[in-house]
Amino acid sequence: MLNRKKTEISVFWIFYLGFIMILCVICISGLLFTNDVLKDFESSQPYKVVEKYLKKIENGEYSYPFVYSKFVQTDFAGSEECISVLRQRYENKELSFLESSSHSGVDTVRYNIYGNGERIGYVILSISDTKTKYGFKTWKIENCEPFEFLEKYTVTVPKGYILYADGSIIADKYISNTEKVDDYPEINGIESPGYVTYELYGFIKEPVFTVDPIYGEAYTQTVSEDFNNIIFERKEVNYNNIYNFIRSAMEEYISVISLEKEMENYLQYVLDGSEYSKVVENFNSSWTMYNPEILSSGLENFEILRYEEYTETQILAEITFDYVVELKYSTEEYHSNYKIILIKTENGWKIANMENI
- 47-98 pLDDT per residue, tens: 999 999 999 999 999 999 999 998 999 999 999 999 999 999 999 999 999 9
Q: Which of 348, 250, 235, 356 is nearest to 297 (CA)?
A: 250
The distance from CA 56 to its chain's CA centroid, rounded to whole angstroms, is: 31
In this predicted model, which residue has the larger pLDDT, 303 or 3? 303
Q: Which of 317, 308, 324, 315 is nearest to 338 (CA)?
A: 317
Q: Predicted confidence band at 7 (pLDDT cuts at 50, 70, 90)?
A: low
- 124-142 pLDDT per residue, tens: 999 998 888 888 899 999 9
Q: Predicted confidence band at 114 (pLDDT cuts at 50, 70, 90)?
A: very high
pLDDT score for 9: 59
Helix, strand, or coil (residue 291): coil
Q: What pTM was computed for the model?
A: 0.74
Cα(283)–Cα(256) distance, integer angstroms: 10
Cα(21)–Cα(48) distance, integer angstroms: 38
Residue 209 and residue 227 in contact, taking contact as beta carbons nearer than 8 Å: no
The single-letter DSSP state of residue 261 is: S
pLDDT score for 185: 87
Residue 266 burial (C-beta neighbours within 10 Å; 0-12, 13-18, 19+): buried
pLDDT score for 222: 92
The CA distances from residue 139 to 56, 61, 101, 344, 353, in Å, are 17, 21, 17, 73, 77
Residue 207 burial (CB count, 10 A): 19
As a whole number, mean pLDDT of residues 256-275 equals 86
> What order do you get walking across the sheet with 331-345 strand by strand?
294-309, 314-327, 331-345, 348-356
- 319-329 pLDDT per residue, tens: 999 998 887 77
